[in-house]
């Protein structure tokens, strides 16, 4: 993966992007969480050796934060799409 | 209250051009280089090699919002912004973000109109003038594609980067909006980026263009080139 | 014209003939180890030295044995020399320039009498892997060992004071890249280009043509009508507009998504392509026998290059050792030039040899020894003879048939190994082909093709046909034309085999497998016996293929030796992994031009013109001071000062959703902030760690103007973009105005008087109080004024459109002259804020600091619904902070402890425990004493005046906790 497809700008060198980590979402009601649950949200990652959905930011381009499905072993990017289309 | 001087707008490249001992002219409150060497030499350099022109005074607006496009269409209907005529241009950066460039001074009217239209539309659209925040360097000439290929990973071939299209990318490790705006047959690219990096980008382009004989050109030569 | 003078000094130069690349009409001079030599333009350093009869060009890495030309194609280490201050130059590929100063590397005292060669006598103490085994104990002697070894080993010298070279990079985009410009590469490029694809054709030589440049007239296996000759091919390339040729350019590596890297001199190319055709040819494989590294033992292709390209013959009496038709080609070639071919030593039986030149050579009286092999090169610093012997019916050498031949040049033509690194980097798979005795590619990933000798196809007519197919297939792959049921690989293995399986002839002297690292076949046997019997382990332990040749000369032979020692097959033994770079590249080329972005404010030149000492802050250049920071600070306290704070991040937030967003990203209250007000806020991440701080102004109904720290502008913009784009963005637009506005902080008791001269806006404390924002025309320019006070004095931050920055700055300085205004820099600002005990995020806080501990609990509202960091801060609040950030004064008021020093506590035994550290410290010119901020345990920090000790240069120095600001603790001066 030295090419990454920004859903907005198309194929670009990966050096134009910043990695944003695994897709995880902030709990809706943090005050309802136990310390362990809160710590899990903050620090625990799945770190799979498989296809993983992750954040990328086109920081040297249009500024879009988007999602990429990438295989962590082969580095193959299966697809990229805007966050708004994550359930499509 | 007392002021001694009339406000004058300076581009971020002013200190460089000043050092080069150019003659200045004023346009819409901006002090800009008129001629560096001679108009003829600068035109020849643009036609045969590659040149840089400081076009920072061009008006620049951002139009943001999910309904930005419809506001833009309404504004064009009411009173054309003269898109693609002269040097105005509207470029879609994201489906909810448009970049509008105007000749110097015309951004005031454009901003007023877009603000009025968006207010009338009752859509959430934000119009922001960013002229002062961006340096604009035009790279003009047959060697412009090759020069830019030394500082940017984009493919500048016309098939990959057609005229009147815009791309945001990394140029010399900085984020720039690059618009291809050929002058007749001459390939030309406007490099638009944060003004505090203007001097750095200018110096980098001069350095990268040395092998092609790059020189800066002033307003006079640029106007002549555009006239054709 | 040859002159008598030339004859005298270039005894090995042949008579002129066609195909040469040298210009004999001009003679230039250069030196080698101080001795002057002549050359013609077009000569390489090595060809010119060879013409002059110089045979020893270098000394080997470990044993300092004399080495001379071996491959003559830039693929072996034998001709590495130092040219001026450039180390490790390959003499065989570097063109000579007039006045060049060439020197031998790593010799003492001289190349021809290198006493370091005495290391050979101790070679039994330097077995394979010796650096893992010896010089280990006693450990305290290691510095001595290291010093000595570094002197003896190694290659050229790097001169630290060498002026920086000019290097740069260029991006290229294309449909098809052809790596290698021999007949196969040219053919493939033509075919792909004719189909309509854009093609970049790379070759590492000065001109295209590959082996046709020096072998075409002699190619025995191709009928003449099948081969286009070289000029025709070059003509076709010239007329093909879709092909761009890069000569003298090595393709260094293949990376994912067909991203290639190539180097041409000082320029690095980064190439984005859709398809790659690997036409990088083959390496001729050396034979391993006693003293096989003696100068005068050369590869057949090396001799042909010297003869045809440079008109240089490196010997007078030649013995050719071969196992294929190539050796006979070389023999016929040399004989046609009038060279005395002393003997042909042919490994095969006579009936296996089908060279068309055989009868001609035999009839001319050239002795041929069938079923013979060389066992030793005779001579000390150069070849003086060859010892050959018969191979018996079992394929073993029979010592009793040994005989010596007189000669001064031994040419080996034993076989080839395809140069397929690029295909393997791309994920290609290889197999050992027993018919050809070569490891050749059998499959490649989509878009990768291999053609010509790289795919095992040697015959020219087959190469041309294969190239046509492959070029068409590559074009079709990128969308030009149809794929016609082609497989990527159709190596023509029907032709006679070119490679012998014999790689090593046993003997009793040194036999080198690896020329780069001086590894002998005995070393390989030892390593395998020690258990390093897999090819990858063997490589790492012995360092074979890890030197400058990167395996070109040694990989194939090592695989054979390893397979033989393990009694396994070549296929089972496998190959080592191919990695970039394929050929050595200078660090300068990889680094490219200096491209470090620098941000300057619109009045940068004014700062320079007024004696500013500039400092780097992030990417910004900012005035640190204008000569005397202490008096700059005093000027602000007593009169008025002006500082350029343009680098401050400035973000515009618009829309109905902004108040809710501010509530979530800041730790304090925002919904109740009226229009015209400014509030200070701290941003945390969900860990409760302080990310940034700044003020945010409510400009009008739905517009807010946020400032961040200078270095925080970009990270906070990206941080906000993330929250806005991942669910919190409803009804909010964010625009970065950092550069659209320049900002100057006018500070000091006289600042109101200064500003009043430039604006009609009512600046009285009543009309424009502390922590308010107003828009106003200043010097006829519409500006935003923020009344805030980082310095602790009455002050106005003037934000103006950036193109007017110089106008505004000069107007403020002019207006302030009568009040004694002076510019102040970052250092004075740091003093002023420290006197107020204002923290700087990133200076006084780190990646573990929360606002409760950092003395900013007043800015944290734990009772508001939810905000970033709240759950973490709730826990910290409950458990209590582990450290607190607090002010301190020194007991000895002149001692300023350095920032970062440890705060220690001696126990009863006098042992010290670290309990905290100093984050900021200055000598306060206002208070005339040393002050600072530090982290301390809560029990200590909470007692105003509590003593503690700072360790300064090993001495314990006393300081006392100081609560509140050091200067104007009630903040009266801000509100004047």
Residues 20-59 in A contacting B (C-alpha not used; CB under 8 Å): 58-59
What the block records as the tokens of B101 is: 């460039």
Provide, as residue numbers in chain B, all residues whose Cβ is less than 8 Å from the Cβ of C704: none
What are the structural domain ranges in chain C? 4-118, 168-283+417-477, 317-411, 512-589, 597-648+738-824, 653-734, 836-846+870-975
The shortest C-alpha distance from B207 to chain C (Å) reads 9
pLDDT at B158: 94
Same domain, B14 and B83: no
CATH number for domain C512-589, candidates 1.10.101, 1.10.3470, 1.10.10, 3.30.70: 1.10.10
pLDDT tens, residue by residue, B65-89? 999 999 988 887 665 454 443 456 8
> Which chains are within 8 Å of B by 3+ CB pairs?
A, C
Q: Which residue has the tokens 């059998």?
A: C442
What are the structural domain ranges in chain A? 3-85
pLDDT at C338: 83
Helix (H), strand (E) at residue C534: none
What the block records as the tokens of B95 is: 């489906």
Residues 33-72 in A contacting C (C-alpha not used; CB under 8 Å): 33, 35, 38, 41-42, 55, 57, 59, 63-65
Closest CA to C219 of C332, C342, C305: C332
Residues 13-72 in B contacting C (C-alpha not used; CB under 8 Å): 14-15, 18, 30, 56, 62, 64-65
pLDDT tens, residue by residue, C258-289? 999 999 999 999 999 999 999 999 999 999 99
What the block records as the tokens of A73 is: 């072993």
Provide, as residue numbers in chain A, all residues whose Cβ is less than 8 Å from the Cβ of C718: 18, 57, 59, 63
**Is residue B175, in this structure, part of any structural domain at all?**
yes
Cα C98 to chain centroid distance, Å, stands at: 31
Distance CA C536, CA C578 (A): 11
Same domain, B141 and B113: no
Closest CA to B32 of B6, B58, B3: B58
What the block records as the tokens of C662 is: 């501010």
Residue C219 has pLDDT above 80, yes or no: no
Exposed / middle / buried, residue C266 (Cβ in 10 Å: 0-12, 13-18, 19+): middle
CATH number for domain C653-734, candidates 1.10.340.30, 3.30.70.1400, 1.10.3720.10, 3.30.2130.10: 3.30.70.1400
Please judge whether A75 and C875 are an interchain contact, meaning their C-beta atoms are less than 8 angstroms apart.
no
Inform me whether the C-beta atom of residue B149 falls under 8 Å from chain C C-beta atoms. Answer: yes
Same domain, B219 and B142: yes
If one counts every other C-beta atom within 10 angstroms of the C-beta of residue C594, the result is 11
Please judge whether A61 and B175 are an interchain contact, meaning their C-beta atoms are less than 8 angstroms apart.
yes
Same domain, B147 and B164: yes
Exposed / middle / buried, residue C349 (Cβ in 10 Å: 0-12, 13-18, 19+): exposed
CATH for B173? 3.30.1360.120
Which of B124-133, C17-26, C506-515 is least confident? C17-26
pLDDT tens, residue by residue, C820-858? 999 999 999 999 999 999 999 999 999 999 999 999 999
Residue C120 has pLDDT above 50, yes or no: yes
- Class assignment of domain C597-648+738-824? alpha beta
Residue C2 has pLDDT above 60, yes or no: no
Same domain, B109 and B209: no
Statement: the pTM of the whole predicted model exceeds 0.80: yes
b/e per residue C441-450 (b: at least 16 CB within 10 A) = bbebeebbbb
pLDDT tens, residue by residue, C128-178? 766 666 666 677 777 777 777 666 666 778 888 888 788 999 999 999 999
Same domain, B146 and B209: yes
Same domain, B14 and B104: no
Residue C491 has pLDDT above 90, yes or no: no
What the block records as the tokens of C436 is: 């050809």
Distance CA C956, CA C912 (A): 10
Q: Are B24 and B33 in contact (CB under 8 A)?
A: yes
CATH number for domain C168-283+417-477, candidates 1.10.10.10, 3.10.20.30, 3.40.50.300, 3.50.50.60: 3.50.50.60
What the block records as the tokens of A39 is: 């710590």
Q: Are C778 and C800 in contact (CB under 8 A)?
A: yes
Domain boundary among B116, B131, B146: B131
Dihedral sign for Cα atoms in the order C712, C718, C719, C723: positive
pLDDT tens, residue by residue, C46-90? 999 999 999 999 998 888 899 999 999 999 999 999 999 889 999
CA-angle at C253, arms to C277 and A78, nearest 5°: 80
Query: Which three-class secondary structure state does DSSP give residue B120?
Result: helix
pLDDT at C965: 96
Residue C654 has pLDDT above 60, yes or no: yes
Exposed / middle / buried, residue C293 (Cβ in 10 Å: 0-12, 13-18, 19+): buried
**Is residue B4, in this structure, part of any structural domain at all?**
no
Distance CA B156, CA B167 (A): 11
Distance CA C343, CA C602 (A): 80
Task: Read off the pLDDT of each residue in C652-662 and give the average, rounded to a whole number.
Answer: 97
DSSP line for B177-215: EEEE--BTTB-EEEEEEEGGGHHHHHHHHHHHHGGGT-E
CATH number for domain C836-846+870-975, candidates 3.40.640.10, 2.40.30.110, 3.20.20.80, 3.40.50.1970: 2.40.30.110
Provide, as residue numbers in chain A, all residues whose Cβ is less than 8 Å from the Cβ of B167: 9, 61
Same domain, B115 and B149: no
Domain boundary among B100, B131, B162: B131
Query: Which CATH architecture fits A3-85?
Result: 2-Layer Sandwich (3.30)
Residue C776 has pLDDT above 60, yes or no: yes
Mutate to test the interface with C, among A2, A18, A21, A78 (most CBs of C within 10 A): A2
Task: Read off the pLDDT of each residue in C728-743 and give the average, rounded to a whole number.
Answer: 97
Strands C297-299 and A65-71: unpaired
Residue C236 has pLDDT above 60, yes or no: yes
pLDDT band at C224; cut points 50, 70, 90: very low
Look up the CATH number of domain C4-118: 3.10.20.440
pLDDT band at C6; cut points 50, 70, 90: very low
The shortest C-alpha distance from C841 to chain B (Å) reads 23
Distance CA C410, CA C295 (A): 9
Q: How far is CA C748 from CA B128, C68, C754, in A?
A: 33, 77, 10
Find the CB nearest A15 among B167, B170, B174.
B170
Mean pLDDT across chain C:
91
ipTM: 0.96
CATH for B72? 3.30.70.1400
Find the CB nearest C725 among A59, A65, A75.
A65
Q: How many separate domains does chain B show?
A: 2
Domain boundary among B109, B131, B153: B131
**Domain carrying residue B148:** 9-57+133-227
The larger pLDDT score, comparing residue C120 to residue B68, is at B68
Q: Per DSSP, which regions of A14-64 are E strands?
A: 18-22, 51-57
pLDDT at C459: 83
Residue C430 has pLDDT above 60, yes or no: yes
**Is residue B1, in this structure, part of any structural domain at all?**
no
Helical residues (DSSP H) of C277-420, grouped into ranges: 300-310, 325-336, 358-363
3-state secondary structure labels for all residues of C222-279: CCHHHCCCHHHHHHHHHCCCCEEEECCCEEEEEECCCEEEEEECCEEEEEECCEEEEC
Closest CA to B218 of B57, B9, B8, B109: B57
Inform me whether the C-beta atom of residue A32 falls under 8 Å from chain C C-beta atoms. Answer: no
Q: How far is CA C626 from CA B183, C629, C634, C827, C925, in A?
A: 46, 7, 14, 10, 16
């Amino acid at each position: 993966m030295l090419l990454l497809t920004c859903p907005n700008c198309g194929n670009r060198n990966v050096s134009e992007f910043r990695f944003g980590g695994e897709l995880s979402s902030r709990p809706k009601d943090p005050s309802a969480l136990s310390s362990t649950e809160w710590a899990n949200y903050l620090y625990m990652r799945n770190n799979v050796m498989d296809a993983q959905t992750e954040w990328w930011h086109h920081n040297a381009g249009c500024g879009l934060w988007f999602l990429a499905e990438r295989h962590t072993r082969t580095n193959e990017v299966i697809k990229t799409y805007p966050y708004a289309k994550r359930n499509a | 209250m007392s002021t001694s001087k009339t406000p004058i707008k300076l581009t971020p490249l002013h200190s460089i051009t000043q050092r080069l001992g150019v003659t200045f002219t004023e346009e819409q409150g901006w002090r800009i280089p008129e001629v560096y060497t001679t108009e003829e030499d600068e035109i020849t350099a643009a036609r045969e090699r590659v040149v840089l022109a400081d076009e920072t005074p061009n008006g620049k607006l951002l139009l943001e919002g999910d309904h930005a496009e419809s506001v833009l269409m309404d504004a064009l209907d009411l009173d054309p912004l003269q898109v693609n005529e002269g040097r105005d241009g509207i470029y879609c950066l994201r489906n909810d973000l448009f970049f509008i460039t105007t000749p110097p001074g015309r951004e005031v009217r454009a901003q007023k109109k877009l603000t009025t239209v968006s207010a009338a539309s009752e859509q959430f659209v934000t119009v922001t003038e960013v002229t002062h925040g961006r340096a604009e360097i035009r790279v003009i000439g047959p060697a412009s594609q090759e020069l830019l290929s030394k500082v940017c990973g984009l493919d500048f071939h016309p098939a990959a980067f057609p005229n009147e299209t815009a791309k945001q990318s990394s140029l010399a490790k900085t984020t720039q909006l690059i618009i291809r705006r050929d002058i007749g047959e001459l390939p030309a690219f406007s490099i638009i980026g944060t003004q505090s990096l203007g001097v750095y980008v200018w110096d980098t382009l001069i350095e990268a263009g040395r092998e092609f004989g790059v020189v800066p050109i002033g307003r006079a030569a640029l106007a002549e080139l555009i006239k054709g | 014209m040859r002159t008598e003078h030339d004859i005298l000094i270039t005894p090995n130069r042949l008579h002129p003939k066609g195909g040469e690349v040298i210009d004999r009409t001009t003679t230039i001079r250069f030196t080698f180890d101080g001795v002057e030599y002549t050359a013609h333009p077009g000569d390489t350093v090595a060809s010119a030295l060879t013409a002059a009869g110089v045979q020893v060009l270098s000394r080997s890495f470990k044993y300092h044995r004399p080495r001379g030309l071996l491959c003559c194609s830039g693929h072996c280490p034998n001709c590495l020399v130092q040219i001026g201050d450039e180390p490790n130059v390959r003499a065989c590929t570097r063109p000579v320039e007039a006045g060049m100063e060439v020197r031998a590397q790593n010799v003492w005292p001289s190349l021809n009498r290198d006493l370091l060669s005495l290391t050979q006598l101790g070679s039994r103490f330097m077995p394979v892997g010796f650096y893992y085994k010896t010089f280990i104990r006693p450990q305290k002697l290691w510095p001595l060992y290291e010093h000595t070894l570094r002197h003896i080993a190694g290659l050229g010298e790097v001169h630290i004071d060498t002026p920086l070279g000019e290097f740069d990079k260029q991006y290229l985009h294309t449909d098809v890249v052809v790596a290698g410009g021999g007949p196969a590469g040219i053919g493939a490029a033509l075919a792909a280009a004719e189909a309509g694809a854009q093609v970049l054709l790379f070759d590492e030589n000065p001109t295209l043509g590959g082996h046709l440049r020096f072998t075409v007239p002699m190619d025995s296996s191709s009928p003449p009508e099948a081969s286009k000759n070289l000029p025709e091919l070059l003509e076709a390339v010239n007329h093909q507009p879709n092909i761009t040729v890069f000569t003298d350019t090595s393709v260094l590596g293949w990376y994912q998504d067909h991203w290639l890297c190539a180097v041409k001199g000082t320029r690095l190319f980064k190439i984005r392509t859709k398809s790659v055709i690997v036409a990088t040819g083959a390496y001729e494989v050396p034979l391993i026998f006693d003293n096989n590294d003696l100068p005068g033992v050369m590869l057949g292709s090396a001799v042909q290059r010297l003869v045809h390209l440079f008109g240089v013959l490196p010997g007078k009496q030649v013995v050719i050792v071969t196992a294929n038709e190539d050796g006979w080609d070389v023999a016929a070639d040399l004989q046609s030039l009038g060279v005395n071919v002393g003997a042909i030593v042919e490994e095969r039986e006579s009936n296996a040899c089908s060279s068309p030149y055989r009868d001609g050579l035999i009839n001319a009286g050239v002795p041929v020894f069938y079923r013979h092999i060389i066992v030793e090169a005779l001579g000390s610093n150069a070849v003086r003879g060859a010892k050959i012997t018969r191979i018996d019916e079992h394929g073993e050498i029979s010592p009793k048939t040994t005989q010596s031949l007189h000669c001064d040049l031994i040419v080996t033509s034993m076989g080839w190994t395809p140069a397929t690194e690029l295909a393997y980097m791309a994920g290609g798979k290889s197999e050992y082909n027993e018919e050809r005795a070569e490891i050749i590619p059998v499959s490649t990933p989509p878009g990768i093709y291999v053609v010509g000798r790289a795919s095992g196809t040697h015959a020219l007519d087959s190469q041309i046909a294969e190239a046509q197919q492959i070029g068409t297939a590559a074009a079709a792959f990128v969308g030009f034309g149809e794929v016609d049921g082609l497989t990527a690989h159709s190596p023509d293995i029907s032709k006679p085999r070119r490679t012998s399986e014999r790689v090593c002839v046993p003997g009793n002297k040194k036999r080198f497998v690896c020329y780069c690292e001086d590894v002998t076949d005995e070393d390989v046997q030892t390593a395998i016996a020690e258990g390093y019997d897999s090819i990858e382990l063997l490589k790492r332990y012995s360092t074979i293929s890890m030197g400058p040749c990167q395996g070109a000369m040694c990989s194939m032979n090592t695989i054979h030796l390893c397979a033989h020692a393990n009694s396994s097959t070549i296929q089972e033994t496998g190959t080592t992994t191919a990695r970039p770079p394929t050929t050595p590249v200078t660090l300068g080329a990889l680094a490219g031009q200096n491209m470090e972005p620098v941000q300057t404010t619109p009045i940068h030149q004014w700062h320079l013109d007024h004696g500013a000492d500039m400092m780097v802050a992030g990417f910004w250049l900012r005035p640190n001071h204008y000569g005397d920071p202490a008096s700059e600070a005093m000027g602000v306290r007593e009169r008025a000062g002006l500082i350029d704070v343009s680098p401050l991040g400035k973000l515009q937030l618009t829309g109905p959703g902004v108040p809710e967003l501010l509530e979530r990203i800041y730790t304090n209250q925002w919904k109740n902030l009226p229009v015209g007000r400014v509030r200070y806020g701290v941003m945390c991440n969900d860990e409760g760690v302080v990310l940034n701080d700044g003020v945010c102004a409510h400009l009008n109904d739905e517009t807010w103007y946020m400032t961040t720290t200078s270095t925080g502008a970009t990270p906070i913009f990206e941080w906000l973009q993330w929250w806005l784009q991942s669910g919190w963005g409803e009804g909010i637009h964010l625009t970065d105005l950092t550069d659209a506005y320049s900002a100057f902080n006018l500070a000091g008791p006289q600042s109101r008087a200064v500003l009043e001269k430039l604006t009609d806006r009512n600046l009285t404390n009543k009309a424009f109080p502390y922590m308010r924002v107003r828009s106003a025309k200043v010097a006829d320019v519409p500006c935003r004024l923020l009344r805030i006070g980082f310095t602790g004095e009455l002050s106005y931050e003037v934000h103006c459109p950036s193109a007017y920055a110089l106008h505004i700055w000069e107007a403020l300085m002019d207006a302030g002259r009568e009040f004694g205004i002076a510019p102040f820099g970052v250092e004075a600002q740091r003093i002023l804020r420290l006197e107020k005990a204002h923290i700087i995020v990133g200076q006084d806080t780190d990646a573990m600091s929360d606002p409760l501990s950092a003395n900013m609990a007043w800015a944290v509202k734990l009772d508001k619904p939810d905000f970033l960091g709240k759950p973490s801060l709730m826990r910290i609040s409950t458990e209590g902070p582990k450290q607190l950030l607090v002010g301190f004064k020194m007991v000895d008021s002149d001692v300023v402890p350095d920032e970062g020093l440890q705060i220690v506590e001696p126990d009863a035994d006098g042992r010290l425990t670290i309990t905290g550290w100093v984050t900021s410290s200055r000598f306060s010119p206002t208070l005339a004493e040393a002050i600072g901020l530090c982290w301390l345990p809560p029990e200590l920090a909470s007692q105003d005046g509590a003593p503690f000790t700072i360790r300064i240069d090993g001495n314990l120095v006393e300081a006392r906790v100081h609560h509140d600001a050091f200067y104007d603790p009630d903040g009266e001066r801000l509100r004047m």
